[in-house]
Structure 1
Amino acid sequence: MEFSELNLDESVLNALDTMNFKECTPVQEHTIPVLLEGHDLIGVAQTGTGKTAAFLLPVLSKLCSGDYPEDSINCIIMSPTRELAIQIDRQMEAFSYFMPVSGVAVYGGNDGVRFEQEKKGLTLGADVVIATPGRLISHISLGYVDLSKVSFFILDEADRMLDMGFYDDILQIVKHLPKERQTIMFSATMPEKIRQLAKNILNNPVEIKLAVSKPAEKIIQAAYICYESQKLEIIKDLFSAQQPERVIIFASSKIKVKEVSKALLKMKLNVGEMHSDLEQSKREEILHEFRNGKINILVATDIVARGIDIDDIRLVINYDVPHDCEDYVHRIGRTARANNDGCAITFVNEAEQTKFYQIEQFLDKTIYKLQIPEQLGEGPEYAPKVKSGKNNKKTGQGKRKYNFKKKSGNTKKTKETNQ
């Protein structure tokens, strides 16, 4: 479907035409008509599917054509991180080029000048406020933010916000909003805590779920079937021959992240850690050092699996098997971006074998099993418990080695969408 077929305001269509945006992505085709009709919505879609435009375009269209109060905040967009807030703000600037719509981005940091700029935008009544929860609450607590006329409340990457501990902050912000509003929630996954939040803040929402896209074919996927005690030693062996560069290691919890980081530092590896216990400023500092090569290995929870724009990750290691298939796709999708090659290795202990088998079933492929280094002894047999009572086919364990250095070559970049 083309954007011209949607009932968008002429100013929005002019902006899209200028940007040479013709065809809708699937998430845009399904959600924009629903939002233009005024329904609350839960959208389940990954990063990279065009979901930002899916909620921005109908809201901007309504602000242009509808009778909304001037000098008042009409739309609040919540973002889990500063980086995502900046991305949304940039897209809004582009889409609203031909429109009399004002916006302000409100996110964490210690810059007093920026805080005053945010205060000015909030008190003058910017049409659209794009904010991280903690920063917006800081402004609200000072008594000059009026949210009583907000018509649109949008939560982007809601699962990440809850993973980062923002559940109570979101409910606190909702208390300042009018009951009569359109509420829109986008999330990459739909666990029970997200459904509970939706039940609390949405009114009879339409739910649109797009299938999870498969990982890029150029990602080399492999796994070690190992005991938990062998995982750190495998990492030590992997990096004994060559210095690690641009590596993300995902762990299942912030406690595990701290333990792994501490162990890798003892190995004299250049490591940074990323989890929800860190202040926003510290997370930004670590990401900056990782981008600039001052940190070679980033050990992280899933809060960085989505939305962080780092294109040249060489290797992703799943220290623990992800909780579900969607998390696996998000994690390994950090590598092999922007025409780069990349590898993804998963450590699978005995208790994690069934979860890993379910991931293989989802991908419709058997992930290659690497042989554990001889000096570490034998690993467990790969024998996941399957509902039918039968184990999968032979897993093809072998001695193949991978070189994790960046490769050159022309690999055509493909647009990531959910079909």
Structure 2
Amino acid sequence: MDLFVVNRYDGDKTITEEEEKAKLDSVLKRIERNRKLRQNQKEKENKVKEAKKYAIEQRQLKKIKKASFIAVPENAHSEYIAKDEIAEIEDEKKVEVEEIPKNKKQKLDPTAIEGFTILGLETFDKKAKVKRVLPKWLSTPTVISVNLQNLQTKTSELKILDKSLRKLLKENNVKHLFPVQAKVIPWLIEANKHADVIFPRDICVSAPTGSGKTLAFVLPVIQALKGKTIKKIRALVILPTQDLATQVFKTFRLYAQNTNLDICLITGNNPFAFEQKQLVSQNEAFGFVSKVDILVCTAGRLVDHLKLTKGFCLKNLEFLIIDEADRVLDSVQNDWLYHLEKHIYEEDVNSQTSKILNLTSLQKRRPPQKLLFSATLSQDPEKLQILSLFQPKLFTSVVETEEGTSNTTINTETFIGKYTTPKELTEKYVVTSLDLKPLVLYKFIKQEKLTKTIIFTHSVESAHRLMILLKSLFKDEMKIQEISSHFQVKNRNDLIAKFSAGEIDLLVCTDALARGIDFPNVQCVISYSAPKHLKTYIHRAGRTARAGETGLAVTLLHKTQLTIFKTLLKQADKNNVEELTISEEDLEPLGEQYKQSLEDLKKTILKEEKEDLQKSKNAKRKVLKRKRKNSIQSNSSKQST
């Protein structure tokens, strides 16, 4: 290895004193420089601490100055006064540092400390809370009371209403108008006096169920159209269900009996060809002629006639009334609004531009006045925008306090968009386990001695099973029936009539009957299946406490559903819903009876399933026999040829 190592010799090298001194000086300078850097760092940290301390002291002083103007009792202990100050100091510790003067951002150099980036040293002004901004017509409504006990408007004093209509109201024992009728009817009549010169404004009416909304649009429309001599569809009333459409149709027909107005109902209950003959006729001289002045319909059936009925014309429409407007607007059934607008404005290339008020659109025709009514009317401007409302006006209800309420004392932010229920309605709920729920229902009905009661469930199957179980529990004590969308309209109407007449004590149904249907003198409404949405609860409860009568609404809940239910009530600002308790000790004596009823339910369901299976088998056999018969006939005919 020595052969590959080369060692160089530079001679003996000695370090002088000057070199040693220079090296020592450089080391000392480096030490001094590091000491100054550490000192500067400490000074900057102290400045930050002083800024924090100064900001806290300034806020403390302001608090104390404000408190000095408040009179404090002599016996008050100082610790009570200091509580707010201590809390304020604690809050200040959580807040980031703010530079003085106030309201200015402070930025510290993140490179001030070598090798580190300081986070969170920037302070920002607190963002102002964003307030809801509504269109003027939504934020400044006309307020309607829901107090139906103290009615002040007599029908005989409403001189703006036609004399013949006042006479009919008297004959039907309507001596006083409800608040919604007293506000809306005069406004609509006055707005349509000069409709040919000034376009009437569209209106939205949000009022509780059973407050008289139907009559609020029936009477003004009849009065506005009764002088028309040429038959044309001038009023179109759209409703979400067949039952509700039938009810509104009957109201129109009742109050139009002394006029020449023809009212037609199209809901799909009758054959399509029959409805076509009701709507239009054709003669050689004038072609298709309308036979109707006022048309009451469901949205789906309307679209069918717009597409398939020749001569069906809505271009002379003056009133477009949408009852239960929130449900009708949410429904996408055949996209009814698109087809209606396309029909009315079919001569325009772009129907959207035809809805804009300008010289061109004014010269063609005036748009129909839109009247929207609902107990749970959407007040979301985006949803209402699709209707292209013209200078809309809102009539909305508010529950009065014990001291009374007036338009001048109400803060509109507290009730805009809120759903209201009648003042006469008492609301309660019962918490129970799932397995004892039917027994709790039975015990509650027996305990309160209820009759004329509607029980809501979530499905047709649930309603059917509950009806069988209650019949087994009550035996012959009460008359119980079920009703759902699976029943034919005629059968449903018969059951509703029997229930109204008192021939049925308990009516078990689905939410198909939760909207709009007027059941007179309903004592109680029970939600056996808890409502999932606030609208469902409002409409179910609205079947009772109608037209100023008292009523009770009870909801049965599992423990897991209680939080969700209270959240729904909070959305409607309902704080007066009481809890009813039915202890399991009270249910113990009914144990054997309950077991027997469950056995009866099981047997009945199995029997019905066997019968349904047998019916389906018989139907299949008939189809097969018919096919065989047809095939034999066709074969024999081929052979003969």
TM range (shorter): 0.5 to 0.7
Name the structure 1 match of 2:301.
135
**2:302 paired with 1:126:** no
Conserved? CA contact 1:76–1:150, under 8 Å: yes
Residue correspondence of structure 1 range 278-293 to structure 2 within 5 A: 278=486, 282=488, 284-286=490-492, 288-289=494-495, 291-292=497-498
1:236 Cα offset (Å): 6.5
2:431 to 225, 230, 249: 225
2:456 to 236, 250, 262: 250
**2:465 paired with 1:299:** no
Counterparts of 1:25 and 1:155, CA distance in 2 = 20
| SS of corresponding position for 1:172 | helix
Name the structure 2 match of 1:272.
482
1:247 Cα offset (Å): 4.5
Conserved? CA contact 1:79–1:131, under 8 Å: yes
Q: For residues 332 and 215 of structure 1, do their structure 2 counterparts lie closer, same or farther at Cα, with a shift above 3 Å needed?
A: farther
Counterparts of 2:577 and 2:550, CA distance in 1 = 20
1:196 Cα offset (Å): 1.4
Name the structure 2 match of 1:356.
566
1:53 to 205, 209, 215: 215
Alpha-carbon deviations, 1:281-335, whole Å to 9, x = none? Answer: 635534534654689542312x412332333656532134445667545423434
Conserved? CA contact 1:224–1:372, under 8 Å: no
2:242 to 64, 71, 82: 82
Counterparts of 2:584 and 2:428, CA distance in 1 = 15
Q: For residues 336 and 197 of structure 1, do their structure 2 counterparts lie closer, same or farther at Cα, with a shift above 3 Å needed?
A: closer
Name the structure 2 match of 1:410.
none
1:63 to 217, 225, 236: 225
Q: For residues 150 and 242 of structure 1, do their structure 2 counterparts lie closer, same or farther at Cα, with a shift above 3 Å needed?
A: closer
**2:158 paired with 1:29:** no
Conserved? CA contact 1:274–1:283, under 8 Å: no
1:376 Cα offset (Å): 8.7
1:342 Cα offset (Å): 6.6
**2:394 paired with 1:207:** yes
Counterparts of 1:363 and 1:273, CA distance in 2 = 30
Q: For residues 88 and 290 of structure 1, do their structure 2 counterparts lie closer, same or farther at Cα, with a shift above 3 Å needed?
A: closer
2:342 to 175, 191, 215: 175
| SS of corresponding position for 2:386 | helix
2:164 to 11, 14, 23: 14
Q: For residues 272 and 205 of structure 1, do their structure 2 counterparts lie closer, same or farther at Cα, with a shift above 3 Å needed?
A: same
Conserved? CA contact 2:210–2:547, under 8 Å: no
Q: For residues 184 and 95 of structure 1, do their structure 2 counterparts lie closer, same or farther at Cα, with a shift above 3 Å needed?
A: same
1:189 Cα offset (Å): 0.3
Conserved? CA contact 2:523–2:551, under 8 Å: yes
**TM-score under structure 1 length normalisation:** 0.68
Matched residue count = 362
| SS of corresponding position for 1:355 | helix
Counterparts of 2:452 and 2:460, CA distance in 1 = 19
| SS of corresponding position for 1:105 | strand
| SS of corresponding position for 2:373 | strand
Q: For residues 249 and 165 of structure 1, do their structure 2 counterparts lie closer, same or farther at Cα, with a shift above 3 Å needed?
A: farther
Conserved? CA contact 1:32–1:57, under 8 Å: yes
Letter in 1 for 2:267: Y
Gaps of 5+ in 2: 1-152, 192-199, 282-287, 346-354, 356-366, 399-419, 472-479, 589-641
Q: For residues 247 and 160 of structure 1, do their structure 2 counterparts lie closer, same or farther at Cα, with a shift above 3 Å needed?
A: farther
Conserved? CA contact 1:71–1:124, under 8 Å: yes
Q: For residues 55 and 328 of structure 1, do their structure 2 counterparts lie closer, same or farther at Cα, with a shift above 3 Å needed?
A: same
Q: For residues 163 and 242 of structure 1, do their structure 2 counterparts lie closer, same or farther at Cα, with a shift above 3 Å needed?
A: farther
Counterparts of 2:464 and 2:297, CA distance in 1 = 33
**2:541 paired with 1:332:** yes
Conserved? CA contact 1:43–1:207, under 8 Å: yes
Conserved? CA contact 2:240–2:327, under 8 Å: yes
| SS of corresponding position for 1:39 | coil
| SS of corresponding position for 1:109 | coil
**2:39 paired with 1:39:** no
Counterparts of 2:331 and 2:497, CA distance in 1 = 22
1:157 Cα offset (Å): 1.8
**TM-score under structure 2 length normalisation:** 0.47
Name the structure 1 match of 2:576.
365
Q: For residues 339 and 8 of structure 1, do their structure 2 counterparts lie closer, same or farther at Cα, with a shift above 3 Å needed?
A: closer
Name the structure 2 match of 1:260.
462
- Range that drifts further, 126-135 or 303-312: 303-312
Name the structure 1 match of 2:424.
216
Name the structure 1 match of 2:528.
319
Counterparts of 1:51 and 1:332, CA distance in 2 = 17
Letter in 2 for 1:96: A
Please identify which structure carries the higher helix content: 2
1:56 Cα offset (Å): 2.5
Rg (Cα) greater in structure: 2
Alpha-carbon deviations, 1:359-378, whole Å to 9, x = none? Answer: 4995553524222434999x
- Range that drifts further, 92-101 or 205-214: 92-101
Alpha-carbon deviations, 1:146-189, whole Å to 9, x = none? Answer: 11111211111223435776472344334323552211111110
Alpha-carbon deviations, 1:46-89, whole Å to 9, x = none? Answer: 34323223223333333346xx6822211111123334333333
- Range that drifts further, 257-266 or 48-57: 257-266
1:227 Cα offset (Å): 4.6
- Range that drifts further, 206-215 or 21-30: 21-30
Counterparts of 1:16 and 1:130, CA distance in 2 = 23
Counterparts of 1:287 and 1:60, CA distance in 2 = 26
Counterparts of 2:226 and 2:311, CA distance in 1 = 26
Gaps of 5+ in 1: 378-419
Counterparts of 1:294 and 1:4, CA distance in 2 = 37
